[in-house]
């Protein structure tokens, strides 16, 4: 059977990664969390005190970065490695989350990540989630989904996730972060977050993960049959 590319784009906290993981598992496809790449670059820039506003410094810093996903058989997932070090444990805290949209708006950073993402998807059979997958990375993806949901619902989901991890925060801070990132991601000059013309819109506000996965899987199976 032919393999396809599934692009899941949308706002923060809609359930893109969770859905992409399950859909990839069901189809025996590779899941690629492109947000992890922008987070890993942000982590590297902060660790090395890179001046985001200086394009020369940014380009030099990117030259020294290698990113790859290494499969962790225990988790059944690829984990992001920065220069051969697993940085998964360091990239999902509030410190990185607050800065990532600024780093992801830099042209050189986007070019760097997009080239890597296109290489990862060259043999198809991938479920890739992000902000610009259907518009820029794989504009010819066979299935494009644009996810959205009410901001409070998304923030409550994120808050629960953070509390489960023992991170101290509150609903209004999480809402502020999500609104700020959505704004920065949608209004930036380079590859802003927007729905691809041919994307299917899925509002996940009232959906459970199970329903969400079933709906995307259903769409994917139809596309696979046609391909």
Point out the annotated binding site for ATP.
10-18
Nearer to ligand CDP, 2 or 112 (CB): 112
Nearer to ligand CDP, 2 or 187 (CB): 187
Its sign, for the CA torsion 54, 114, 21, 72, is: negative
- Whole-angstrom Cα distance, residue 208 to residue 200? 18
Which residues make up the interface to ligand CDP (CB under 6 A)? 12-18, 34-35, 38-39, 100-101, 104, 129-132, 157-158, 161, 181, 185, 204, 207-209, 212
- Whole-angstrom Cα distance, residue 21 to residue 71? 13
Binding residues, as ranges, are 10-18
Cβ atoms of residues 131 and 191 within 8 Å: yes
Q: How far is the CB of 167 from ligand CDP (least distance, A)?
A: 13
Nearer to ligand CDP, 27 or 32 (CB): 32
Q: How far is the CB of 153 from ligand CDP (least distance, A)?
A: 8
Nearer to ligand CDP, 27 or 155 (CB): 155
Q: How far is the CB of 219 from ligand CDP (least distance, A)?
A: 16
Instruction: Give the long-range contacts of residues 63-71, CB within 8 A, separation 24 or more.
Output: 65/41, 65/112, 67/37, 67/40, 67/41, 67/113, 67/116, 69/32, 69/36, 69/120
Q: How far is the CB of 222 from ligand CDP (least distance, A)?
A: 21
């Amino acid at each position: 059977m032919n393999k396809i590319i599934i692009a899941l784009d949308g706002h923060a906290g809609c359930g893109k990664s969770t859905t992409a993981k399950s859909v990839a598992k069901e189809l025996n496809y590779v899941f690629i969390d492109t947000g992890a790449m922008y987070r890993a670059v942000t982590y590297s820039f902060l660790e090395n005190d890179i001046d985001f506003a200086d394009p020369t410094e940014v380009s030099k810093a990117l030259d020294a970065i290698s990113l790859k996903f290494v499969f962790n058989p225990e988790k059944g997932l690829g984990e992001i490695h920065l220069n051969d070090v697993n940085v998964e444990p360091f990239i999902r805290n509030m410190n990185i989350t607050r800065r990532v949209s600024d780093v992801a708006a830099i042209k050189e950073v986007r070019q760097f990540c997009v080239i890597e993402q296109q290489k990862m998807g060259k043999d198809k059979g991938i479920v890739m989630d992000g902000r610009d997958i259907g518009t820029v990375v794989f504009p010819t993806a066979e299935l494009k989904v644009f996810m959205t949901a009410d901001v409070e619902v998304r923030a409550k989901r994120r808050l629960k996730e953070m509390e489960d991890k023992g991170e101290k925060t509150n609903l209004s801070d999480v809402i502020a972060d999500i609104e700020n990132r959505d704004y920065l991601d949608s209004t930036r000059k380079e590859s802003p977050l927007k729905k691809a013309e041919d994307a299917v819109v899925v509002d996940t506000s009232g959906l459970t993960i199970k329903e969400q996965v079933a709906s995307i899987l259903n769409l994917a199976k139809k596309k696979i049959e046609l391909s």
